[in-house]
Amino acid sequence: MADKKEQERDWDRELAEVDRLLNQLPTHREEKAAAAAASRRAPAGQGGQAPAATSSRQWIGTWARVALGLLIGIGMTQWPYTHGCGFKLFVYLGGVTTVIVAGVWSSLSSWKRRLGVAHLLSQGLVIWGLVLAAREILPRMGYAKEAATWFCP
């Protein structure tokens, strides 16, 4: 009995009514307009979800972030001052934090722009910053054989 009633329904008419009611909703109109705009920008032959093309300005900006982070990361190996304890240690750790932040910043940018090599370099920069931080923090937390202090005696 349910099959006979199912066959008698005019699905095209009912779905047209649902579409008409959905089109009256303000949020549905905005989504529909955004989808139409996205499909106009999408290249032919691809579905509605094409990755956004990276402009040369965005590409240069991402690589500038990566290069800046790499320069800071390399520069940390040439730190000119002692950083065994006290204020100089905290300044050094601030520099290490800057390396990590630069790595995360360039990593997010390279991920968004789909730049694989830049993303790998950014991830390497984050890891390098964590290694530099661990080299200074772990001995002060009692992890290494030779303990170090945070503040100078």
Q: Name the token pair of 1.
A: 């009995």
Print pLDDT tens along the chain (153 aa). 555 655 678 888 888 888 888 788 777 666 777 777 776 765 554 544 545 566 788 889 999 999 999 999 999 989 888 888 889 999 999 999 999 999 999 999 999 999 999 999 999 999 999 999 999 999 988 887 778 888 888
Residue 50 is classified by DSSP as P
Q: Which helix (H) or strand (E) holds 16?
A: helix 11-23
